[in-house]
Amino acid sequence: MQCENPPSLLTMLKSAGRFFLTTNIPIMFYSKKYTSPTDLIALLQTRGLIINDESKAINYIKRIGYYRLSAYFYPLLESPKQQHKFKPNTSFEKALLIYRFDRQLRLFIFNHIEKIEIAIRSAISNIMSRETNDPFWMTNPIYFASTTLFNNSIQKINNEYNTSKEDFIIHFKNTYQDNYPPSWMLAEIIPLGVLTRIYQNIKNNAIRKMIAQEFYLNIPVLESWMTIITVTRNNCCHHSRIWNKTYGLNALLIKRLSRPWIGTTINHRKIYFSLCIIKYFMNTIVPNNDMTIKLSELLQKYPSIDIKAMGFSSNWIDEDLWRYNQ
């Protein structure tokens, strides 16, 4: 008996409107159409949102985008949120206030991550260069455990090196015949995520330990926290919502940290935990930093923000971590 060819996925989608590849994952065509800012304002009003100045609200939607702003409308909806009804007395200005707070929080975080990122780049580059006595260690496979990971890193390095417009890279290309510049130059142009994978792949465990000890951490925790820092940094760079986001990463912890830490059990997937990691690094690399003061001032500026949604504990400012080096 000759079997018929099964219908294509596209045919099934068109005929049924919906098709399940598994029992849990529906696949369907996206059917929503473009809606003008004016019509979106009218839609929000039918859902119970108070808009005192329609022309201003339309302008904000034009400049920021409805899709981006919708993430700040969401926590203001009544449950069940699928009904798209706003809580009583909810205004457009309240959503905009959350948006402004989120923006200032991103700027605050990025300002501190910049210092941490520079310190991590410097520690890895300096310690590896010193211990190997090889300025070109980053592009030499003998120092790495996995050939596959090394090749992946080299590909990323090539992409950055070949496209870099940095003056020091252009000068090196015009002056020297080497295939690559020394590692301390490369460390300045490769993404932090690539540098994290390079650190993870270093063959000599004693050197990796030296690098981790620069920050009073062990190897697995430094690797984990570098990943958290990278993800948080990228969210800030891409202007993503961070204030109440739930991250998909679980960070590692040392049972007995040699520096002050938090005593309260918190959600590791919320931004407060990332802030704790940032503060821990800051206490190590920038003694007498004012991060606690600045964060407290930011939260006081926006008293209506639900800090529990960010993962904060009620006594966060009294934790040893935040009292240290204020």
- pLDDT of 195 reads 96
Q: What angle do CA 215, 220, 224 make, to 5 degrees?
A: 80
Mean pLDDT (the chain) is 90
Classify each residue of 230-269 as buried b or exposed e, where b means 16 or more C-beta atoms within 10 Å of its C-beta.
Answer: bbbbebbeeeebbbbbebeeebeeeeebebbbbeeeeebe
140 band by pLDDT with thresholds 50, 70 and 90:
very high
Tens of pLDDT, residue by residue over 59-118, are 999 999 999 999 999 999 999 988 999 999 999 999 999 999 999 999 999 999 999 999
What digits encode the pLDDT tens for the residues 255-293? Answer: 778 889 998 888 999 999 999 999 999 999 998 899 999
Question: Of all residues in the chain, what percent carry a pLDDT higher than 90?
Answer: 81
Question: 12 pLDDT exceeds 80?
Answer: no
Q: Given this model, what pLDDT does residue 325 score?
A: 65
**pLDDT greater than 70 at residue 22:** no
- Tell me the torsion sign for CA atoms 141, 144, 150, 153: negative
The per-residue pLDDT for range 176-198, each reduced to its tens digit, is 999 999 999 999 999 999 999 99
Contact 13, 29 (CB under 8 A): yes
Give the integer Cα–Cα distance in Å for 58 and 161: 44
Q: Is 20 helix (H, G, I), strand (E, B) or coil?
A: strand
3-state helix, strand, coil in the chain (%, to 5): 60, 5, 35
